[in-house]
Structure 1
Amino acid sequence: MAEVQEKCSDIPHLSTRETEALYSSTLFSILHRLGVKGEKATPPKQQLFLYLQSVMDISKENHQNHLDAAKQMEPPISVLTVTVIGAKGLVPKDSNGKSDPFCMIGCIPADSRRTGIAAANCIPKDVRPLLLEKHLSAELVQVTSVQKKTLEPLWNESFQFEIENTDDHVLQVEVWDHDEETSILETVKNVGNVPNLKSMGRFFKEVAKTSRRSSTSTNDFEGVIVIPLKEIPSNGKEDWFPLHSKTSKKYYGEVKLRLRWRHKSFQHALHIVTAEQVLQILWYKSIHYEVSSRRKQHGKDTWDGQVSALSKSLLMQYAAQHEISLEQEAVSQWIAYSQPCCLPSLEYKTFLSILKKLSCSSNPVIYDSDKPIVRGCLHRFITMSISRLQKQRTVFPCNDVDALTKLSVLLNCLNETYILDKGLQLQLYQAGLKPSIIAAIKADCCDSYALMKSEMEKEIPTDETCRDVTLLARLMENMKNYVERDLKLVTHVYKKVVSLDYQDIVHRQIGDLAMQDVRQALDVAIKSTLSPEESLDASSSMFQLYQSLTAFNTAYVCQETQEEPTPTAKFYLVFKKTVQRWFDVTRQESLQRITKAVELDKMNTMDSIVKHSTSAVDATGCIKVFSDFWNKLNWPDPAGAYVFATCVTDYICNCGLEYGHLIHAKLTANGFYDTVGRFDVSDQLCIAINNLEEVRQYLASLYETLRLDKVVAALEKEHGQRVR
């Protein structure tokens, strides 16, 4: 067992003497196995001996000494616990269309019955199914209570039978309808009142008479089940078994039975630990050995948790012989599987199956002495699971279907741990399950955001103006696509398993991180001293960032939380100064362009159709820049956009007026207002007038183009008719 050396702090650590005693005890359990003989999954004893020797790291000499000693010990008595859970589909025997059913249960030698029983539930015609009177004793036959007026009785009553030889005994369960007259039920229940053997003879005669009396009325008998004990598995069985009639193989209803084996007064020399703790040690030793062997032989890091047939048989036998409950078996499994040696490599579906066994009821049955151990193992598992959610984008890629299946199982595991935590009051989730998962998702978002930001930063030249603004603009464009398109499948998983909207959580967290960076980047950009050309580039980058945030803000809307504003819901407010700066820069740039256009204008028509010159085209183009920017800005708060609307219209009017002044100055320079030939009509004059008309008509359409009616309507709604 060389390769995996992690020690387990969750199970008792035994001395050499105590380990040898445990070893002898386990050898004894192998020697006296319970259940089906020669079943396919049952390995030969010699293989189990060798496997146990390897697991416990016992020398060959010591093994032989312990085996010889175990063979000298007195064989144990097998005990079969039969739980009669209920029945369904019974035949009505009373005039009211119901029955008053009860069961007789007996473990009797097979040779006491007539030959012909080939297998469980096969009752030949010549076999009389009644429990014979010579076997009626408190040890061999027991009786359930009577359930009145029902064809689907529920008993949930358990009975135990001590059996020295399981090879030649059968379990027989008979269902009868109770009559008001003296019945077999009442007769059998008096068996405990018989004072001596002589009286016992008279008692059996009375039973025989009652049986014959009952046999004259077929209405009293419902059906019978016969199960050879040698066909009951070592780990027991729980199932519905069909009832047979006396004379045919026809079914007359079903009875649900739970059958469990154990050994009476199992002998071992361990007094400092319980049988449950021994099982925990065996599970841990076996899993430790299995993981070590697997890594040594295959070098694999992932494991489905399936142990070998040898390990399964060994552990199953010990649990059965000591009547260890399914919950306690699950506790032993959980402790073993959640150790550091296999916790990271084990598939989540294995953990889920164990957790479901542990949390199968609202009040899980776990001993108080085991609660600290279970709590520690659960804490270790939860910590590992949450840490994986904190790296979800790497561990469970959102477009990998197999990875999302594993994520679903992980979330189901956390659900089960939460149920178990509440049932056992372990206080593992101080803040609750959902807040813990949400915190993990946010942590993953922070790492993913920082990583993507770092990768994109490498693509932007270091000398670019407002580099941080440009970076954020590109980053938020990518994040918008990520939230909008890539998270649909993973969101479906979260909603289905833990009722969380993953897209909404990620959208909000990324928005929160982005707004912190945006505020800082804009503050630095606005305070920077830039040249006119750099100012224009910076304004362009800021507007690109504004548009990216606009798209990101509307990338996802959660119906459940739409009333709660997202961190980016009012992102536009941080752009107020930026927008004003952009207007100022654009106004200055536009006035310069208009001035240059008038200077270069030859005052010639562009063609025979267009009667204005190039300066009018340039002037309307500059004004159009304002209107296009305003429409792209699409300020989310129409009433709050009033200040910007005023600014836009003012700057547009300034551009129009400036163009008119420049045209007037050009006419003056060309002698239109001279005393000689003053006000003569010329082509140049016509073109100038056409230019002014072209700009005027474009200005006239701006009220609708700028959609200023929305701003006015919003103001009227907020402030009333005072706007008019």
Structure 2
Amino acid sequence: MKPRRTRSAKLRRRQQVQSSDGNFFEKVTAPGDGDVDRDDELYTIKNLSINGDKRQIEALYVEALYTITHKLGQGDVEESQESLYKYVRNAFQGDAALHTALMEKAKQNKPPSVLLNILLLEAKDLIAKDVNGFSDPFAMMGVVPGTRKENQPMTETAHPEKDEQEAKSPRMLHGKKDGLMHRFGGSFRRKVNKKGKPQDTCTIPAKLIKASSVQKKTLNPKWSERFQFAVEDVHRDQFHIDIWDHDDEEQSVLDAVSSLNQITGGLKGIGRYFKEVTQSARANSDDCTDDFLGCINLKLETIPPEGLEQWFTLQPRSEKSKVSGQVKLKIWLSTKEEGRAGDDDETLDVKEHIELLRQFALYEIRQTGQPVRFWDGVYPERAMLILRQHAIQGDLTDVHLAMCRWLAFHSMIHIDISFSLLYKTLQKIIDKWQPLTLDKEEEDMLTDSFSSFDSYCKRMMIEHREKFTPSKRNSGEEFSSLIKCMRALRESPFYQKYLPYKRPFHAHLESLVVKSAEDYIDRTIEYVQDPDPCKELLKLLNIVNVQCSRFLHYAAVIREVARIDYSQLTLNTFDRLLTEYLTSELMSEKKMDLKSQMRISAAQDPPNDDDLIDLMRIHMAFIELRNYRLANRVRVRDESEWYAIFNKGIKKFLEVAKDKALARVNLSCQLDMPISTSSNDMRHSSSHIDICHIIEQFTVFWERVDINDAGLKIEYTSLLVDVICEIVTVYCQKIISGLEAEGFTQELQTFIPSQLLHLLCAAINNCEQVRRSLNITEKLHMDDMSLAYERDASRLNGNHLWKSEIENRLEQCENFICSEIDRIVGLLTGRLLPQMKKHVFHLAWSPTAQLVEDSLKPLTDMLDIELSAVHKNLLHRNFLRVMSAQVSIVVKLLRECVSENVGMEPSFYHRLFEAWHVLVEFFHAGGKGLSMEALETNPDHMKLVKILSLNQTPTEQLIEKYYKDLLKQQNEVSECKYGILNVRAYYNGNAQTLVLDVIGAKQIIALDSNGLSDPFVVIEIIPKFRYPAVPVVKTKVVSKSLNPIFDETFEFHIPPNPPSTAMLHFTVMDHDYLRSNDFAGEAFLELNDVPGFGATGGSTLRQFNLILIQPVSNTKNVLDVLNSRKEDKDAVEFLRSISTVY
């Protein structure tokens, strides 16, 4: 409970600070009071009923039960009848008594007549029977009755052993052995029993036999002919079809078969008639035969509810038959109910199917408990089984089913069914419909629904801002589907035929967009009526801007579907109506018109806060609307007459805001309270949040306003920056003063109480957070101001340094905060200076045998304890400041140690050098502390490392370094300030002799009063300690010349393979007869560059043009270290040698 109470107290404190000035800043920058989204009226099917009257519902209930009772076909997914009955009862919300009564009624109704529908489409790859390589195929088909006796199976094809019995049957005695009756009967006869007793084959065992047309000379015939057969027992009967090659030119057999439907008297009559026709047709026609091409048998009970459409492979009648190819059939079952009430209505099946679809849909939506528009139109398998059965029994085609689904869903639009679902359903009926596929009554139903839906879509489009607000889930997809529905509907062939319209869809939609914008503005103006004209205008502008911010939600869809620029069209309409509104307001005869009220708000003194806030918000709303115009390429209107008022208001706002902000600073510091993430982790106090909030409010305000005069904008920007910097400076001074009042001063003791340490951490963290809030340069948009200033520079004649002045003002403020933080951190770390000095002394004079890490441990332990005490309490930047302060102290102590102990052995300084590197790793802390880059680029670090490096270096290496530095200086020189020395040299390896020719010099400096010199050159091989026996040589003196020619050769006997530091040293001197010679310059030549040494091959003289230099201060540090080694003979000798005057 304690954390919750603390959070509540902090919230009350923050509200107290903000409300102290009436929430002045928050009101100015608060989001506009845009159009409040109306409640998202999500229809859920709970207690809602749209079922119609009770009698119709019960009739539909009975029809559903009747459909299940007389289920046809065998589906992939079988459901028990009981589960289907249960689903219907749930869908109709029927109680047990009602369900039982209606179930009994459904069972009493006469069962429907079952019909088998055959669509003979085509065949392919038939066998050729004629000499021309083709056949003349036709089909004969019928329904073969199943066995009525128990356990007596049906045959699918005849077998050879049964042909003998067939031949002996009475039926065969009446005709030729090869007659049509023999061959066709072979497929349609019933199977004999196991004892060989023949069946009664005097009758044709087919309920109905029908024949197709003959397709001449083809092996791939195409028929597309439909046949229908009555079925007595769908569970036992089977369908049979034969394909024959026709050779009878007179087609007498086909004529006879086609007349079978005229025969009465049952199966026996059909059989006798067919037998007689066959005999007469075959009489005297021995050379005219119909050849068998194959057959198919199909059990009717295997036909699925949705029917079959597939290729069937033709089967032989017996093993002797030779067949090939396939035939494509579409087969489905349907029913015909007789004696139903209302049977005179031709569309009854369609209407029942629509109602079933709707009833099941309402049930499924009710089950989900979700809003209607979230239903995806998917029915469960049990519902689909019932619907498929009803479609089969009603002989509904695909176009009927698409129409029923559309009409069912269309009837639910008033309960907010999804437009996405409507679009998919609409698209399906549009795709399925073809002329003459529906009866006139059905087309009338579809026409009425399309007309109604078109009107509904128009209404939705006009009200789309309320109906499809972005806050609604899936509203973007729904709006897209609405536009697609409108387009699909109006561009469909059905609509164009039955509901013709004049304007194209593009123009129709464009007019709706304009109409929608006009109606919206009219409604909004009525909604925002207010006695105060400023408040009324502000409400109107805010609502318009909210709608403009939603353009993208609608524009992308309309652009994609209709290529209309919704944003531009709507904004043009908004703009036109707003202009009319403003014109009427400005011409108003009210006591206080709009412009007068705005002028008073900008100039009254003392200012009225609410009026000033309203004026600023109106200005920001105008700017936001202008930005929408620019973004959508709408002409920006001239609003200069308004800007004069707004500019005065902005200046007044800054003056008022400054006073209120400083008052908030005082109150915030008075009410300051700690903020901690845990009981021992206090990082801030609450006041910094208030200050950062004020600065944020200022910058948000500044980003949303605009001053049309460039000079005035620069002036106001400078004023804004001054206000912000003053707020921050005053706050930091108060925070630091409060800390000092608690005892954090120069007299700080070594031990700091934890409470005071927490106050310290909170204070410098607050200052650091506020410092970060000064990063507002980008938000001031000074680059844009610069461009505007340059355009108006000739007119302004103002201060061209305004940008740097503003940036400098921010930088000065930031530097002030940093210096205050550093000062406080310096007090924290400086109190330990005596202890740290003691530890450094211990390090310097600890025994050499003791490891450096061990010698440093007292110091690092003390530093670690100090850092650990503040690590969790400080922002990382401030923690690094503490570490940097410690680094500065340690560096200072080590440098003092070096300066107090000059001339010590190099090992003494080497120990300090190692210790410093250990400390660097300590302060780096594996990447958690100071970065290596920050440490290595620290000037104090660089100086210390340089001093320690030189002092730990042996004398010989220092001497070599001295010469290397001079050689580096020579190589890096960019101008010949002291002249050039020309020499040639090579090394004779056999004689181990270095041959040197000193040719001459050019442009050496004048050192005599006559403007000339008397130059000569001193040559030696250095370093001297490596070549102690090699003499120093001189050239002759060339009097009064700045370009002397010496032309002298010298030889030096030295061993091959010189060290890398070995060089020829040339010193150019000016000879003076009365005083000491003057130094004119020096140059160096590495021996390894001379031909004959090392990798430099050849033995010929090579010329070198050496630039003369004079030593700079870079070598002073080396000389100082060498000079400190009074007891080192090599150092003393070297210093003596370089000071020798030749």
Q: TM-score, normalised by structure 1?
A: 0.57
Counterpart of 1:514 in structure 2 is 575
Counterpart of 1:132 in structure 2 is 185
* Alpha-carbon shift at residue 231 of structure 1 (Å): 1.4
Is the 1:22–1:278 contact (alpha carbons within 8 Å) kept by the matching residues of 2? no
> Is 1:336 paired with 2:408?
yes
| Cα gap change, 1:169 to 1:525, in 2 (>3 Å) | same
Superposed, 1:264-343 pairs within 5 Å as: 264=336, 266-271=337-342, 274=345, 276-277=347-348, 280-281=351-352, 283-284=354-355, 287-288=358-359, 291-292=362-363, 294-295=365-366, 298-301=369-372, 302-340=374-412, 343=415
Counterpart of 1:501 in structure 2 is 563
Counterpart of 1:243 in structure 2 is 313
> Is 1:165 paired with 2:233?
yes
* Alpha-carbon shift at residue 164 of structure 1 (Å): 0.8
Counterpart of 1:719 in structure 2 is none
| Cα gap change, 1:190 to 1:140, in 2 (>3 Å) | closer
Counterpart of 1:102 in structure 2 is 138
* Alpha-carbon shift at residue 142 of structure 1 (Å): 1.9
> Is 1:3 paired with 2:47?
yes
Counterpart of 1:200 (choices 270, 274, 289) is 274
* Alpha-carbon shift at residue 157 of structure 1 (Å): 1.5
Counterpart of 1:413 in structure 2 is 485
Counterpart of 1:30 in structure 2 is 68
* Alpha-carbon shift at residue 408 of structure 1 (Å): 4.2
Superposed, 1:72-221 pairs within 5 Å as: 75-87=111-123, 100-109=136-145, 131-133=184-186, 134=188, 139-148=207-216, 153-179=221-247, 186=254, 189=257, 192=260, 198-204=272-278, 221=293
| Cα gap change, 1:193 to 1:262, in 2 (>3 Å) | closer
Superposed, 1:177-576 pairs within 5 Å as: 177-179=245-247, 186=254, 189=257, 192=260, 198-204=272-278, 221=293, 224-237=295-308, 239-244=309-314, 246=316, 255-264=327-336, 266-271=337-342, 274=345, 276-277=347-348, 280-281=351-352, 283-284=354-355, 287-288=358-359, 291-292=362-363, 294-295=365-366, 298-301=369-372, 302-340=374-412, 343-346=415-418, 348-349=420-421, 352-353=424-425, 356-357=428-429, 360-363=432-435, 365-370=437-442, 373-390=445-462, 392=464, 404-418=476-490, 422-423=494-495, 427=499, 433-442=505-514, 486=552, 493-494=557-558, 499-502=561-564, 504-518=565-579, 521=582, 555=631, 568=634
CA distance in 1, matches of 2:495, 2:154: 47
| Cα gap change, 1:327 to 1:150, in 2 (>3 Å) | same
| Cα gap change, 1:324 to 1:553, in 2 (>3 Å) | same
Paired residue secondary structure (2:143): strand
* Alpha-carbon shift at residue 510 of structure 1 (Å): 0.7
* Alpha-carbon shift at residue 318 of structure 1 (Å): 3.0
* Alpha-carbon shift at residue 192 of structure 1 (Å): 3.5
* Alpha-carbon shift at residue 144 of structure 1 (Å): 2.0
| Cα gap change, 1:296 to 1:224, in 2 (>3 Å) | closer
- The count of aligned residue pairs is 563
CA distance in 2, matches of 1:199, 1:361: 44
Which amino acid in 2 is paired with 1:508?
L
Superposed, 1:563-712 pairs within 5 Å as: 568=634
CA shift digits 1:405-439 (9 cap, x unpaired): 44444444334433568458554968664444334
Counterpart of 2:979 in structure 1 is none
Runs of 5+ consecutive residues of structure 1 not aligned to the other structure? 558-567, 594-624, 633-647, 657-724
Is the 1:284–1:335 contact (alpha carbons within 8 Å) kept by the matching residues of 2? no
CA shift digits 1:274-317 (9 cap, x unpaired): 36335524642663365257436635433223334444333332
| Cα gap change, 1:99 to 1:7, in 2 (>3 Å) | same
CA distance in 1, matches of 2:405, 2:548: 45
Which amino acid in 2 is paired with 1:78?
V
* Higher gyration radius (CA): 2
Is the 2:256–2:274 contact (alpha carbons within 8 Å) kept by the matching residues of 1? no
CA shift digits 1:132-170 (9 cap, x unpaired): 355568843322223445566443321011111122333
| Cα gap change, 1:395 to 1:230, in 2 (>3 Å) | same
Which amino acid in 2 is paired with 1:200?
F
Which amino acid in 2 is paired with 1:288?
Q
CA distance in 2, matches of 1:261, 1:372: 28
Is the 1:473–1:541 contact (alpha carbons within 8 Å) kept by the matching residues of 2? no
CA distance in 2, matches of 1:24, 1:263: 17
Which amino acid in 2 is paired with 1:509?
T
Is the 1:304–1:350 contact (alpha carbons within 8 Å) kept by the matching residues of 2? no
CA shift digits 1:515-537 (9 cap, x unpaired): 443576589889968999979x9
Is the 2:555–2:566 contact (alpha carbons within 8 Å) kept by the matching residues of 1? no
Paired residue secondary structure (2:562): coil
CA shift digits 1:475-518 (9 cap, x unpaired): 88x999876xx46xx6664455xx4124x132122123224435
CA RMSD of the aligned region, Å?
A: 6.3
Paired residue secondary structure (2:138): strand
* Alpha-carbon shift at residue 353 of structure 1 (Å): 2.8
* Alpha-carbon shift at residue 384 of structure 1 (Å): 4.5
| Cα gap change, 1:551 to 1:20, in 2 (>3 Å) | closer
CA distance in 2, matches of 1:303, 1:123: 54
Counterpart of 2:80 in structure 1 is 44
| Cα gap change, 1:175 to 1:495, in 2 (>3 Å) | farther
| Cα gap change, 1:550 to 1:402, in 2 (>3 Å) | closer
Q: TM-score, normalised by structure 2?
A: 0.39
Which amino acid in 1 is paired with 2:307?
G
Which amino acid in 2 is paired with 1:500?
A
Counterpart of 1:596 in structure 2 is none
CA distance in 2, matches of 1:259, 1:19: 33
Is the 2:145–2:237 contact (alpha carbons within 8 Å) kept by the matching residues of 1? yes
Is the 1:21–1:270 contact (alpha carbons within 8 Å) kept by the matching residues of 2? no
Q: Which has the higher contact order (CA 8 A, sep 6+)?
A: 1
The alignment-based identity, stated in percent, is: 17
* Alpha-carbon shift at residue 64 of structure 1 (Å): 4.3
CA distance in 2, matches of 1:437, 1:130: 68
CA shift digits 1:437-496 (9 cap, x unpaired): 3344445656888999999999xx9989xx9799979988x999876xx46xx6664455
